[in-house]
Amino acid sequence: MRNTTILACVMLLAACTTVPQGPRVMVLPGAGKSFEQFQTDDAVCRQWASQQAGTTAQAVSGQSTLTGAAVGTLLGAGLGAAIGAAGGHPGVGAAVGAGGGLVAGTAVGAGAGDTSAHEVQRRYDNAYQQCMYAKGNQIPAAAVPAARRSPYVAPPPPPPPPPAAALPPGVAPPPGAAVPPPGTPPPLR
């Protein structure tokens, strides 16, 4: 009875989620196209995008949720039976484990299904836009914000150091100054 109640709740919640069928992107009629021509292009491109995506977002989402629920139930039942057997009640452990596994597996499967559905929708939208653009319709692009100029202006770099003055012959460099090795030619000016 308890498992039936849990399964009914999960199915009820899963029935509440719907994934729209069709493009989630905006396409506008091309210059000089009538609305009827645009609708014809739309129908053709929806069909082509469906073929390119290979499946629907709803089918992928439902399949992943169902797979997660089944795997979770099996793993939960096995783990529950093993733990229940240690306590002397494998049947009760399996039932409790199956119920917990069903809930956890459904949650994990729904998350994976959501990710898969978004990927299918992205493939569908890309194919739809490519088809509509190829038929001469317009794909609005997001406007790139203009670069904002900062009121701060960096100061100019400092001037370069003055060139090193050559010491006249016979004058010793100051203490601590770097002395070139003997035989080094003087710097060019």
CB 129 within 8 A of CB 20: no
Record the pTM. Answer: 0.48
**What pLDDT is attached to residue 51?**
86
Q: For 166-181, what is the mean pLDDT?
A: 68
**Among the listed residues 11, 12, 3, 9, the one whose alpha carbon sits nearest the alpha carbon of residue 98:** 3
**What pLDDT is attached to residue 137?**
95
Enumerate residues 6+ apart whose C-beta is below 8 A from 69.
10, 102, 105, 106, 109
CA atoms within 13 Å, Cβ hemisphere of 129? 12
**What pLDDT is attached to residue 148?**
74
The first and second tokens of residue 169, run together, are 């012959």
**What pLDDT is attached to residue 16?**
45
Mean pLDDT for the chain overall: 73
Amino acid at 21: Q
Per-residue pLDDT for 30 more than 70? yes
Cα separation values, 12 from 1, 6, 7, 17, 91, Å: 16, 10, 9, 9, 28
**What pLDDT is attached to residue 19?**
41
**Who wins on pLDDT, 41 or 95?**
41
The first and second tokens of residue 51, run together, are 């073929």
CB atoms within 10 A of CB 176: 5
Per-residue pLDDT for 18 more than 50? no
CB 3 within 8 A of CB 95: yes
Q: What percent of the chain has pLDDT over 90?
A: 20
- Residue 163 CB-density burial (10 A; 0-12 exposed, 13-18 middle, 19+ buried): exposed
Distance CA 116, CA 113 (A): 5
- Collapsed DSSP state (helix, strand, coil) of residue 111: helix
